Structure 1
Amino acid sequence: MPRPTSSPPHVHFFFPFFFYIPRLVFLCSLSQVAESQIQDQKLQVLLQLRKSWHNPSSLDHWVPSNSSFHCTWPEVTCQDGLITELNLVNLNINYSIPPFICDLKNLTKLDLSYNNIPGEFPTVLYNCSKLVYLDLSQNYFKGPIPSDIDQMADLQVLILSATSFSFDVPASIARLQRLRILHLNQSEYNGTYPEEIFGLSNLEELSLAYNGKFVPTRLPRNFTALKKLRFFSMPQTNLFGRIPEMVSDMEALECLNLGANPLTGKIPGSIFALRNLNQLYVYETNVSGSIPQAVTATKLNVIHLSYNNLTGNIPEDFGKLKNLSCFNLQNNQLSGGIPEGIGHLPALSDVRLSNNNLSGTIPPDFGKFSPLRRFEVAFNNLTGALPEQLCHGGTLFGLDVSYNSLSGELPESLGNCSTLSVAMLNNNGFTGNVPGGFWMLRNLTALYLSVNGLSGELPEELSPTFTRIEMSNNKFSGKIPTTVSSWRNLVVFDASNNLLSGMVPTELTELPSLTTLLLSQNELSGILPMDIVSWKSLTTLNLSHNKISGPIPSKIGLLPVLTQLDLSDNQLSGLIPPEIGQLNVNRLNLSSNCLSGPIPAKLENTAYDTSFLNNPGLCASNSFMRLNVCNSKSHRSSKTDRTLIMILTIAAVMVIVLLVLLMIRTSRKNRDWFDSTPKVTSFQRLNFTEWNILSGLEELNVIGSGGSGKVYRIIVNPSGDAVAVKRISNNRKSDEKLEKQFVAEVEILGKIKHLHIIKLLCCISCENSKLLVYEYMENSSLDHWLHKKKRLSPVSGVANNMILDWPRRMQIALGAAKGLCYMHNDCSTPIIHRDVKSSNILLDSEFNAKIADFGLARMLAKPGEAVSMTGVAGSFGYLAPEYARTTRVNEKIDVIASGWFS
């Protein structure tokens, strides 16, 4: 049987291949067409998106080109030709998110942060089924987070920070079981957050920070169940109670921030046992006690325990934290020395230990082994020299060692520290010359050298970056150089109480930015420059206690913003230029000179009755100025003397009669209280009766008076408890305004209660008078301490150990700010004070600030809504310019007023 003939092998191979080529080509072309259509569809979605946002200029490059060109746009990320990410950050988008954005079916990440998008939470994003990353922070969203947000079940990252979302944080967020990162900080939540959040076992980052309207709560017991949590941030969220010891169970924790909360108790030692912890923030709480001595958190690089009540020594173990970069323990009550080992840490860049009770010397190796950027140890009891190598790393920009007892010469190396921006070396015992290079540091803007024993002369040249030099109470000598005209950007120059000599150079008057010039208590002589027209910004000029002679330059009176002028204790002569009367100064002193002639008529005011003393040649037209009366004879005839005696006798009799009548009237007024039944409206639990108050309305108890009446300090019980009573009479037609103020103050203070707002105890009404009874504030007003209380050191004669030191000033400012914040933001109806000033900030025995005097307050109809008034109310000098111009009332007029405390 014959065998079949077989085909050649190559025929079997090529025939099928050539048979399928046309089909393959056809299918490929179909695929390319489909892919092109898909790309065109995605491009059209992006173009439509841009159009719906009204074509912002930041997206001008979104224009059609080839089908896949959009994948190269910086805001778009593609994978295999499919759009997976939109990063639309800070593009000035002002319109809502359109629903067709979810036509991008493969979108996994959407970042719209730092825009101006309005409206409620965009539930249209529920249709983006593959979305795992959503960032809507820094926008204008408002209203609640929807309770069905758990429809976005695949979310792993949810960032809603710095928006206006309000109400409670919904429990449904805790059903997003895949969440790794959850940021809900800095919004307007006025309820609380669900404890179920702490059951999200996959969480690596959780931030609820800066939600000051959260209901006060303790840290939930289950928060330590978050075993994967690396970042935990809840500062300023009204947490109270203790930090639990079981925090050590959170083994993965790298950053813990619980600052600015009313936490109490000790810092648990277990925190410092967390091996992965690298950042610890427990600042501005009420934790107390000593810092745990055993520190084993080997990765710790940030310690921020400032503004607490910590006591004891700084643990030596801190010197073992090789990763430590930020070391902040300022504003505590720590004592002892600074451990030597801290100066050896290789990564240390930020040291803040100010406002403690630390003693001993500063370890000399600070800066030698690490690139320091900030070094602040002010307000301690440190002694010895300043470390030589603080700027060894070439990165130091902030140095504050003020208010210590440091001594010796300033290190020469600081004169080569080109990065230094602010150097505060004041109130120590430094001696010798200032290193020459200091004056030419190209980044230095402010140099504080006051209250030391430094010597030498002023520099011929000064770096143009300098804006402030304070060098008072030293031993600087020599003349003010004529090259001072090159100090063009100087704003404040204080060289008072030194040994400077020579004339005040004309070149000093050429500094256009100068606002404060203090050269008192030197040995300056000669006449003053006559041409000072460049001092357009000068507000304070003090040349007192020198040997300056000649006339007062008339052009001083033309300085447009000068408010304080002191030329006392010199040898000035001649007339007081009439132009001086044109100044609106709140402090004027020309006493103890050789001036003569009449004082300008506009200065004949009791506000200046001590401004011209010890100038025998000066006279005034009125005797109340404590000067000779102009055109009077030095020797009067006996007839004139008799006439004067007769006039004075008649005047004395009239005064006595008036005093008797006044006493009778006062007695009758006080009796009127007892002749009628007073009505008492109490707002607090009282430990006194109305008769305790009424019986104390005597002149010897008066502690102040103002436009609304007198204020009394009255002891109300045998324990010595005192109250302050404001008395408002309504027996004159002109007192209709006072009646309105009384009603306003009672209406407001009767409703609000806050730690930093004066407490109204009760009001007492009778036929002819009304009384407002307040808690008594032992330290009077802020105005009293700023303007009337002398605080000179018995040693140096300067404000060295001021009662109102900077920490206390900060305490007062924060207290006033918290009171205003409560009025503006936390009251159901916002309250505008309209007369915020230093005399209306009262201080208790601990110098805690409380806002008082609500007689001009105004309630807004809606938060943030401005209201027009029929007239302007308030105190001159504290009024917001736009309020005086438009009479529109909103929260801003209180804010700008508080910024003008002086």
Structure 2
Amino acid sequence: MATTHLLSLFVFIVLTSVVSSQQLSTSERTTLLNLKQWWGSPPSLTNWNSNSSPCSWPEVQCRNGSVIGLQLQTKELTGSMPPFISDLRNLESMFLHDNFLTRDFPRVLYNCSKLIELDISQNMFVGRLPDDIDRLSRLKSVELGANNFTGNIPPAIGNISALTSLLLYQNLFNGTIPPEIGNLSNLETLGLAYNEFASPEIPPEFGNLNNLKILWMSQTNLIGKIPESLSNLVNLELLDLSLNNLEGEIPSRLFLLKNLDSVFLYKNRLSGRIPSVMESLNLTQIDISMNKLNGSIPDDFGKLQKLEVFNLYSNRFSGQIPTSISQIPSLRIFKVFRNNLTGELPPEFGIHSKLESFEVSENNLTGKLPENLCAGGTLSGVIAFSNDLTGEMPRSLESCDRLYTIQLYDNNFTGEIPSGIWTLLNISSLRLTGNSFSGELPSKIAWNLSRLEISDNKFSGRIPSGISSWVKLNVFKASNNLFSGEIPPEFTSLSELTVLYLDGNSLSGEFPSEIKSWNSLTILNLARNKLSGQIPPSIGSLQDLLELDLSENQFSGQIPPQLSNLKLTSLNLSSNKLTGKIPSAFDNMAYQNSFFNNPNLCSTSPISNLQTCLTKSSNSKNFAPKIIAMITILSAFVAIVAVLFTMFVFRDYLKKKRKRNPTTWKMTSFHKLDFTESNILSCMTEANVIGSGGSGKVYRIGVGQPRGYVAVKRIWNNNKLDQTLEDEFSSEVQILGSIRHSNIVKLLCCLSSHNSKLLVYEYMVHQSLDKWLHQKKRRPETGSAPLLTLDWPRRLQIAIGAAQGLCYMHHDCSPPIVHRDVKSSNILLDSEFKATIADFGLAKILAKQEPGDANMSSIVGSLGYFAPEYAYTTRINERIDVYSFGVVLLELVTGKEANEGEGDLNLAEWAWKRYGEGQSLVGALDPEIKDPDTYMEEMSGVLNLGLVCTSTLPSSRPSMRDVLEILRRCNPLDELPEEMKEGREEFDVAPLLKRESYITHYDATSKNVPDDIHV
């Protein structure tokens, strides 16, 4: 009987608890539904309804039937914090980051007495933090970064004793840093970076933060010295004091910290010496670059046996590089360039560790390069220019397949280049100017070599006819060597060549009469050789040519009138044997220094040192029959070679086709196809390669009418693919294959085998936007169409099209898609210049995640297009795409590249600097834009929009929907769709520009390293 009574009592208690929890859930459901309505009923909360329990909603966490957590990050919430949110009495955690919430700090949260975690970062909150913020006494983690808070940080924050994480980065704080923060004995993370405090010193009280692991205070306007008290931070793992005005010596006890994992002190104005006592450190990264530190590099650095990254570049260090550093077993990155270092390089570099980057340029180093730099097989760059190094290039580099740049110019190297260097698998840049290297040019070089600079050496011999295989060569500088013989006609078939310097050699014979494919050439310098014969009229077909120097040769005959077709900024035909009348296009004072020492030239204008033409030269037509005969013979020869070449390629194609096993390939189609897998596989030859990237090559393959061509990207070449990676790839391809939008390139199908993946896209005739803006490849591939340029209406059309594609990805896809690598080279143009977004190799599908899961383990993307916050938080959201698209807008207006600003500034930094200095728009415009006065208002609007999109504060950037709306308003021919008019407030960039002008976006005095110089 007693047992029965106890069982009845237990059942009664359980039923009472269930009824009570159901009533509580019903009450809190009403509060949550009111929250949804208050914040604009975003589409992402459609599952919040009155027919289900809040505890079943993905954004809500419950315990015992009560709401304890809200995860509402990146939900496009608008408005302020409502007063009734305090009805959630048991709320412990609230994540609201990356939304559009406004107004002052939400004091209503004071009533949420159990709140432990609060993240309202990357919103648009304004005003000062309340002086009584310590009423949130149970907080352990608070993140208020990337908002618009101003004034002082209240001293009361030092009373929240439970705090373990305090992140106030990237606001508008312009007051003081309270020393009371030093009272937070449990604090592990302190982030005050990217604020403009009123010239503060680091409070000595920070030395009391015994549990601190991360101290992040970059660009906080710090002055004075690093306090000695920071040596008490025995648990510190990361110290970032970059971008400040600190001075003096680094405290002698600072490097006694027990568990320090990384130090970032770069881009300061520090001075003094580095201490030598570092025995007890567990450092993995040292970056104290871009300061004014001096003295020698302490030998004790070699005791840091876990050190991976060693960055001391752009300082004033002197003396020798300690041998002990070369013996560190974990060392990967070694950068000490731009100092005053002397002595020889330690020969053990590369023996004890797998070096990836080795940069010692711009010092006074002597001796030889270490022989075993690439012993680990991971070296990607050797950069040692501007030293006094001697000896030969190490032969061990021949086996370094990951090496993509060797820069040894301005040294005293001798001997021949090891033969394997020329054909390294990934080498793209070989810069050896200003040494005493010798030997002859090879017939074959690496497929990807695009930059070869060997001027001012002792190279000799003939230019090989096999130079026609150097298909990727873009820059070739070989001035002042000992080359001899004729220039082979095959040289003129290099279609990607833009810069050619062969001046100061002993080349002889006639210049090839027919130029095959130099359509991209901008500079041609053949001065100071022994070339003879007539100047070929075919040079006049090089529409992109800007500089032509044929001086100090033995050219004879008349100047071809076809040269008048060129828009030359520099012309030098002096010291030849030219005769006759100067073409009228050059018969003016602008070219008065272009024809010296040609006694038989005459001019109709008063050009100095030239006789005046009295009568038309009677000899002007004497050579016409000879020229015609030469052209006829050469054309016949070229036709015969073309036929033989075609037969060879076709035979090779048949052999490869027979060897293929079609059963090893699996095709997955996403559209109705008018070709088969055999059409694709049979044409995967080098002759069809049109580009390459980090994941493989891109081919243009003909598939017949009506489609014509497709683009095929080969993204993997691995014998063993991890099954997880295989599944992730298949899932992402399926998602991207389902996208249907006219401004996103179509993924037609995917072909898979055991060791390759082929993605087949629709082919864009005009290829990528960057080629039109920066590489001046403006002639379509469809024959001899008229020369086209990107005028302003076409540029605006491209901007609108690209914005439409990104807007679809961000706002119409579920889940949203963040591209993560938006840049001009990933915007493709069809025959009508309609823009399409391409290359989703870096795309991140935003699915439901726990807090913090949206972070990426590594930063991907392209330099010059990075959003600032991406570099230090790696948090993935749509605003990183908005920043990158803003850089593209600046490219369209200015014609500059993303990393091309002024001095060491990139494009975004340069544009903001101009804006801050009040400079006019006219000076920033791309000179290629015709009739700029007609479109000045539109260009000004797009430039301002580009500035706002590249704001350092993510919350200040517009959404892609707003960007698209503004661009359409800039275009008088484009009607705004009704759905974008309804319920949308007009977005005005002016207030944001005004607001942004009060903060420092970029440090104009910083010495950033150009991409083309350092790895």
Normalised to the residue count of structure 1, the TM-score between the two structures is 0.64
Tell whether the 8 Å contact from 1:62 to 1:70 is kept in structure 2 after alignment: no
Where does residue 251 of structure 1 map in the other structure? 234
Aligned to 2:246, what secondary structure does the other structure show? coil
The residue type equivalent to 2:245 in the other structure is P
- Structure 1 vs Structure 2 CA RMSD: 4.5
Distance 1:126 1:231 in 2: 28
Instruction: Report the CA distance between 1:343 and its aligned residue.
Output: 0.8
Matched, 1:136 2:120: yes
- Residues 504, 163 of structure 1: alpha-carbon distance in 2 compared, 3 angstrom cutoff: farther
Match of 1:216 among 176, 190, 199: 199
1:164 aligns with 2:148: yes
**Correspondent of 2:164 among 144, 168, 180:** 180
Question: Per-residue deviation at 1:208?
Answer: 1.8
Tell me: CA distance 1:408–1:38, structure 2 relative to 1, closer, same or farther (3 Å).
Answer: farther
1:499 aligned partner: 482
> Distance in 1 between the 2:46 and 2:506 partners?
67
**CA 1:304/1:866 → structure 2, altered by over 3 Å: closer, same or farther?**
closer
Per-residue deviation at 1:470?
Answer: 1.9
Task: Work out whether 1:406 is the aligned partner of 2:406.
Answer: no
Shift of 1:427: 1.6
Change (3 A) 1:225 1:597: same
Match of 2:142, SS? strand
**Does 586-595 or 509-518 show the bigger shift?**
509-518
Specify the alignment match of 1:266 in structure 2: 249
Change (3 A) 1:602 1:302: same
Which residue does 1:371 correspond to in 2? 354
Equivalent of 1:591, from 574, 582, 605? 574
Matches within 5 A, 1:643-662: none
TM alignment of 1:453-492, pairs within 5 A: 453-492=436-475
- What is the match of residue 275 of structure 1? 258
Equivalence map 1:465-614=2 (5 Å): 465-532=448-515, 534-614=517-597
Counterpart in 1 of 2:706? none
1:581 is paired with a residue whose SS is helix
Q: CA 1:629 to 1:823, structure 2 compared with 1: closer, same or farther past 3 Å? A: closer
Query: Secondary structure of 2:316's partner?
Result: coil
8 A Cα contact 1:302 1:327, kept in partner: yes
The answer to whether the aligner puts 1:360 opposite 2:447 as a matched pair is: no
Aligned length: 666
Which letter maps to 1:376?
A: E
- Picking from 139, 147, 154, the partner of 1:155 is 139
CA distance in 2, matches of 1:866, 1:348: 40
Equivalent residue of 2:231, what SS? Answer: helix
Is the 8 Å Cα contact of residues 492 and 516 (structure 1) preserved in structure 2? yes
Conserved? CA contact 2:76–2:100, under 8 Å: yes
2:186 is aligned with 1:202: yes
- 1:791 aligns to what? none
**Which runs of 5 or more residues in structure 1 are unaligned?**
1-14, 635-808, 839-859, 868-881
Over 3 Å counting, the alpha-carbon distance change for 1:509 and 1:60 in structure 2 is farther
Deviations 1:144-193 (A, max 9, x none): 44445444332222223333333433444334332222222233333333
AA partner of residue 163 (structure 2): L
Could you report, residue by residue, the CA deviation over 1:634-653 in whole angstroms, capped at 9, with x for unpaired residues? Answer: 9xxxxxxxxxxxxxxxxxxx
Distance 1:404 1:506 in 2: 38
**Which residue of 186, 205, 217 corresponds with 1:234?**
217
1:300-379 → structure 2 map (5 Å cutoff): 300-379=283-362
For 1:496 and 1:393, the matched residues in 2 are separated by 35
Q: 2: CA distance between counterparts of 1:69 and 1:426?
A: 66
Instruction: Tell me, yes or no, if the aligned pair for 1:504 and 1:524 is still in contact at 8 Å.
Output: yes
Q: Structure 2, unaligned stretches of length 5 or more?
A: 618-899, 926-939, 948-967, 973-988, 1011-1015
Q: Quick one: distance in 2 between partners of 1:85 and 1:244?
A: 40
Q: Counterparts of 1:491 and 1:37 in 2: how far apart (Å)?
A: 73
CA displacement 1:537-587 (0-9 Å, x = unmatched): 332222222233333333433434332222222222332233323433322
Distance in 2 (CA, whole Å) between partners of 1:478 and 1:558 is 30
Whether the aligned pair in 2 keeps the contact of 1:68 and 1:81 (CA below 8 Å) is no
Quick one: distance in 1 between partners of 2:406 and 2:610?
47
Q: Offset of 1:380 from its aligned partner?
A: 1.5
SS at match of 2:325: helix
Structure 1 residue 142: deviation in Å? 4.2
1:59-81 CA-to-partner distances (Å, cap 9, x unmatched) read 7998999869847x5x6666677
Aligned pairs for 1:767-786 within 5 A: none
Name the CA distance, whole Å, in 2 between partners of 1:339 and 1:632.
76
Cα deviations across residues 73-120 of structure 1 (Å, max 9, x unaligned)? 5x666667766555555x473634664766665543334445565665
Q: Distance in 1 between matches of 2:490 and 2:24?
A: 75
In structure 2, C-alpha distance between the alignment counterparts of 1:820 and 1:22, rounded to whole Å:
77
Structure 1 counterpart of 2:459, one-letter code: F
2:173 partner amino acid: Y
Q: Which residue of 1 aligns with 2:918?
A: 831
Q: Cα–Cα, structure 1 residues 575 and 222, in superposed 2: closer, same or farther, change >3 Å?
A: same
Task: Write the mapping of 1:692-703 to structure 2, written as runs, cut at 5 A.
Answer: none
Distance change in 2, residues 1:102/1:369 (3 Å): farther
Instruction: Tell me the distance in 1 between the aligned counterparts of 2:434 and 2:216.
Output: 42
1:368-447 residue pairs with structure 2 within 5 A? 368-447=351-430
Q: Which one has the largest radius of gyration?
A: 1
Paired residues of 1:533 and 1:559 also in contact (CA < 8 A): no
- Structure 2 contact 550–573 (Cα < 8 Å) conserved: yes
Partner of 1:720: none
CA distance in 2: counterparts of 1:334 and 1:446, whole angstroms: 29
| In 2, Cα distance between equivalents of 1:64 and 1:414 | 69
Structure 2 Cα separation of the partners of residues 417 and 383 of structure 1? 24
* Alpha-carbon distance in structure 2 between the residues aligned to 1:261 and 1:590: 53
State the distance in 2 between where 1:537 and 1:167 align. 55
Separation in structure 1 between the aligned mates of residue 901 and residue 341 of structure 2, nearest angstrom:
21
1:361 and 1:866 map into 2 onto residues whose CA distance is: 48
Structure 1 distance, partners of 2:86, 2:244, is 41
Specify the alignment match of 1:770 in structure 2. none
* Aligned partner letter, 2:165: I
Q: Match for 1:191 among 167, 175, 195?
A: 175
Change (3 A) 1:864 1:403: same
Structure 1 residue aligned with 2:270, among 264, 273, 287?
287
Determine if the alignment matches structure 1 residue 296 to structure 2 residue 279.
Answer: yes
For residues 785-824 of structure 1, the aligned pairs below 5 Å read 813=904, 824=915
Contact 1:431/1:455 (CA < 8 Å) preserved in 2?
yes
Task: Report the CA distance between 1:349 and its aligned residue.
Answer: 1.8
Query: 2:148 is aligned with what amino acid?
Result: S
CA distance 1:163–1:566, shift in 2 (3 Å): farther
1:108 maps to which residue? 92
How far apart, CA to CA, are the structure 2 residues paired with 1:267 and 1:237?
Answer: 18
Greater RCO, CA 8 A, separation 6+: 2
1:469 match: secondary structure: strand
CA distance in 2, matches of 1:45, 1:483: 77
Instruction: Tell me: CA distance 1:817–1:35, structure 2 relative to 1, closer, same or farther (3 Å).
Output: closer
Inter-partner Cα distance in structure 2 for 1:457 and 1:474: 11
Structure 1 pair 51/427, CA: closer, same or farther in 2 (3 Å)?
Answer: farther
Change in CA separation of 1:68 and 1:885 when aligned onto 2, cut-off 3 Å:
closer
- Counterparts of 2:352 and 2:107 in 1: how far apart (Å)? 54
Return closer, same or farther for 1:289/1:595 CA change in 2, 3 Å cut-off: same
